[in-house]
Amino acid sequence: MGDTDGTRQRRRGDTRQRIQDVALELFAEQGYEKTSLREIAERLGVTKAALYYHFKTKEEIIVSLFEDLTRPIEELVEWGRQQPHTLETKREILRRYGDVLQNAAPLFRFMQENQATVRDLSIGGMFKERMAGMREIVIDPDAALVDQVRCISALFTMHAGMFVHLELEGDPEDKREAVLEVAIDLVTQAHGGAKGSGDQTR
């Protein structure tokens, strides 16, 4: 008897993690400003003060989430920089970017829907950097303006992908693939490639 089995017990040590989970859920659902620490604390069954033991400020919570969840983008950008700027590289970047977005969907949804707020949080700057990094490894600064736009559009398409799921019918996996295909098409065209779905380059 006692705390032997973990069910419903104060799993000690993981509180920080639980705060992050609940916070992200609420931030994504309601927005940053509209989510109060009281709400987070209540949903966790702890006191507001407890949150302050784990995070110095409200902002630190979102910052920690951001840092934890966007590392894959940093890594992707770093990887991208080291690759030759070929079309195939870019395709691979988009594929990997798709995975990244899917894995941290709630955070990205949050970033997307709270841009105004995010802008003057410290993560605002970091996010801009990450995005600039992505642009850098996907856009060729010497290409024609239309082609640069095509690449940006490819990235936006990927982002849009997170919402497309809600507005279009069909199997989720199919939609994911369709989104990726359109994005890849766009960079392909930006590279002077023909339109159409995929195989012709291989």
Partner DNA sequence: TATGAATGAGGATTCATTCAT
Partner DNA sequence: CATGAATGAATCCTCATTCAT
28 class by beta-carbon count within 10 Å (0-12 exposed, 13-18 middle, 19+ buried): buried
160-165: long-range contacts (C-beta < 8 A, 24 or more apart)?
A: 161/98, 161/101, 162/101, 162/105, 162/108, 162/109, 162/112
> Is 156 a binder of its own copies (CB under 8 A)?
yes
Judged by beta carbon, residue 47 or residue 201, the one nearer DNA is 47
User: Closest distance between DNA and the C-beta of residue 129, in Å?
Assistant: 23
> Is 181 a binder of its own copies (CB under 8 A)?
yes
10 Å Cβ neighbour count for 49? 9
Task: State the residue for tokens 């996996």.
Answer: 173
Among residue numbers 5 through 24, which ones bind its own copies (CB under 8 A)? none
Among residue numbers 54 through 93, which ones bind DNA (CB under 7 A)? 54, 56-59
Q: 24-53 mask for DNA (x: CB under 7 A)?
A: ---------x-xxxxx-----xxxxxx-xx
Which residue, among 124, 127, 156, has the nearest Cα to 139 in the 3D structure?
156
User: Closest distance between its own copies and the C-beta of residue 1, in Å?
Assistant: 28
> Is 33 a binder of its own copies (CB under 8 A)?
yes
Which residue, among 22, 114, 133, 18, has the nearest Cα to 70 in the 3D structure?
133
59 touches which of its own copies, DNA, none (CB within 5 to 8 A by kind)?
DNA
> Which residues have C-beta within 8 Å of that of residue 83, sequence separation ≥ 6?
89, 92, 137
> Is 89 a binder of its own copies (CB under 8 A)?
no
User: Closest distance between DNA and the C-beta of residue 74, in Å?
Assistant: 26
Q: Which residues bind DNA (CB under 7 A)?
A: 10, 12-13, 15, 33, 35-39, 45-50, 52-54, 56-59
